[in-house]
Structures are given as C-alpha cells and as structure tokens.
Amino acid sequence: MTKRNIENMIRNYIKDIVGYDPVKHPDSIKENNTSITEIIKLNGNENPYGTSPKISSSLNNYPIHIYPDPHQNKIRQKLAKHVGADILPSQIIAGAGSDEIIELLLKLFINPQDEIIIPEPTFGMYRFFSAISQAKIINIPRNEQFDVNIDTTIANINDKTKMIFLCSPNNPTGNLISISDTKKILETGIITIIDEAYYEFAGSESSVIKLTTQYDNLIILRTFSKWAGLAALRIGYGIMSQILVNYLLSIKTPYNINIVAENAMLLALEDKNFLMDRIQNIIDERDNFIAELKHISFIKPYPSHANFVLCEFESSTVANKLNLYLQQNGIFIRTYPNQKRLESFLRISIGTSDQMKFLLAKIKEFKHIK
C-alpha cells in the first residue's frame, strides 16, 4: 500500500482558514522582552482586579473527582434568577465560554454556503467559526461612527441568509446597537445573535433581553470572563428559546462545564455586589481616560460602553510607533495589523487606577518625542 501524505487527507477548505489572532500571553511577552521587569497587560479586555477573594480562596475545595452535571440544572436555575426579565432556566444554556455556544449554534444552523452577515469591524471569532462551518461570509462595513448600517444590512438579506452576528457593546469599537435597529433585523426572520459580552459595563438598559419574549430568532450571549474576572476558567451562557436550548443540549459534549468553572460562576453570582463595585471602578477609569485623551492632539478616542477604548491616530505610522514605545515601557495593548480599516487604530483595555496613570504618563511622554 502506498504511503499517504497525511496533509493531503485534511479537508481542503480547512487548509485555507486563517486562524484567530489572539493577544499575547504574559509568558510569551516576557520571553521576547527580557529587559522588562513589570508587565501591564491592557490587550485582552480582562478584569484588571481579577475575581473576588471569595472565589480565589475556594479553588482548592471542589470535588474534581466527580463529573459535573451534564444537564447544568443548578447553573441554569441560578443564571435565570440572575438574568431576570422572566427568563426561565429552560431558556438558558452554559458553555465553555460563549465561544462554545457560538460553535454549537453554527453546528445547529449552518450548512455549507449558507450566508452569515458580519458587520465589520467586530469580534474576530465570528468570522473564524463561520469559515470553519463553510458559511459564505457577507461583510457589511460599519459606518464612520462604527454603527451598523441597518439599511445596507437588510438589503443584503436574501433566501440564503441564515444568521447575523451583532456584538453590543461592539468589540473593538465599544458602541451599542439600539433596540429599534435590533428589531428591524429580527423582523427579517434570520437568526440574530446579540453578543453582550460587555453588557455589565454598559448597564441593564443596553440589553435587548426583553425582546426574547417576542422573537424566537433572537439569541443573546453573555460571559463571566470580563465582569467576573473568570477569563481563564471559560464560562459563558446563552439566552434563547427553549426549543433551541434543547437542541444545543443534545449536541454539546456531556460535561462541557468543568466543576471549577461551575462553582466559580455560582460564587460570582453570590458575590455580585462586590464584583459590580469593581466594574464601577473600571467604568470611572474608562471615562476619565477618555477625557484625558481628548486633550492629546494626535489621538481620537471613541466613546465606549465597554472596558476598553478604541483610539484613532493620525496615521498607522504614529499608531505603530506609540505601540512600540509602550511595549518598551512594559505596556501591551491591542493592534490590528491585518485589518486595513483599523491600521491606524489601537484598542486599550482599562486597567487599575495606577496602571492607567502610568499609561497616560507614557503617552504624554511619547507626544514630545514622536
């Protein structure tokens, strides 16, 4: 028998997929920047304060020898109470991060060449999962203020259109989609996924959750990675019709939420007031940061309802020089070298008060040497 080339056995379309471009981990940063003694990581939209002490102190107390509940009964009951808005436990499913729920939804709905609309720029994982699902991606550019162009979006919906991804607040631009615009898209009947990963930084009025009783094609995603500081444990959830939840429960892996993530999530709900106080600190720091940046001539900060700020610069050269200068001082932020529209932009996650003061000082230093 002729020896086969293992790479030739890989599905052809997989070979052409461009992987998601993740932010750098502190370990790799240290390896490549040995002279830096302290790292200020403002590139991943994580919670700079971490999670609550109640969660941290309990990490050694979980029964890790027992499989978690595959039906997520306790998780779903607690989340329904947390979410409110008359949402039932049967309308909720938890995932290993909201990424897993996105992947499950695409498995459930998408056939090869089904069309998925993605208003760009936005969270890169939508395009990544859509490509893996062999969907035809319809890119609708956002307008100058990075709002979704609703008329153009609706004009591109046809019989082949199956789904749309809308991030609100949008990553990396920080803006919201209005209830009225959401309704216009929902009225077309396509599967409408509203990713509310940064909902806690925008306030309850920013959510479209009240529309779930009116539209069975509405799916809302949320996460504990940002507000609760549980990014490493991978825990998120989806809110949708009971019919869809039942299908997702039938196709997910049995034990997709590990026992540590489950219990950390439950403790986060118990300690919600403590965590939300920290969220208010981040919101205050964000607003102060934007106000300070408005006094710096070569930076244009965009309004944000999330825990980051998108900044536009005079040119990609200035943006790249500032990014390099910050790296030399131990500060790491998000760049977009592979997105033409964002070449002259940088996204800065909000850190602690001390971190933001140090960052501003370095930006002002750069102003005089650029």
Question: Can you spell out the DSSP letters for 200-230?
Answer: HHH-GGG--GGGGGT-TTEEEEEESSSTTS-
Query: In angstroms, rounded to a whole number, what is the distance separating the alpha carbons of residues 28 and 133?
Result: 31
Query: In angstroms, rounded to a whole number, what is the distance separating the alpha carbons of residues 200 and 226?
Result: 9
Please, which residues bridge with residue 116 across strands?
137, 163
Half-sphere exposure of 72 (CA within 13 A, CB side): 33
pLDDT at 36: 76
Q: What is the DSSP string of 51-107?
A: S-HHHHTTTT-S-TTS---TT-HHHHHHHHHHH-TT--GGGEEEESSHHHHHHHHHH
Query: Tokens for 239?
Result: 């809110």
Other residues' Cβ atoms within 10 Å of the Cβ of residue 230: 27
Rg (CA), the chain: 21
pLDDT at 319: 95
Question: 6-50+273-369, superfamily in CATH?
Answer: Aspartate Aminotransferase, domain 1 (3.90.1150.10)
Query: In angstroms, rounded to a whole number, what is the distance separating the alpha carbons of residues 101 and 253?
Result: 11
What is the SS3 assignment for 163?
A: strand
Q: Which CATH class is domain 59-270?
A: alpha beta
3-state helix/strand/coil string of 226-289: CCCCCHHHCCEEEECCHHHHHHHHHHCCCCCCCHHHHHHHHHHHHCHHHHHHHHHHHHHHHHHH
Residue-averaged pLDDT of the chain = 92
**Strand pairing class (191-195; 218-223):** parallel
Query: In angstroms, rounded to a whole number, what is the distance separating the alpha carbons of residues 41 and 19?
Result: 22
Domain boundaries of the chain, sorted by first residue: 6-50+273-369, 59-270
pTM of the model: 0.91
Query: In angstroms, rounded to a whole number, what is the distance separating the alpha carbons of residues 284 and 292?
Result: 12
Other residues' Cβ atoms within 10 Å of the Cβ of residue 358: 17
pLDDT at 34: 67
Amino acid letter at 352? T
Other residues' Cβ atoms within 10 Å of the Cβ of residue 191: 22
Q: Are 42 and 349 in contact (CB under 8 A)?
A: yes
- Those residues of the chain that have pLDDT short of 70 are 1, 6, 9-10, 15, 20, 22-23, 32-34, 368, 370
pLDDT at 368: 62
Query: Tokens for 338?
Result: 């592979």
Nearest to 236 by CA among 256, 255, 216: 256
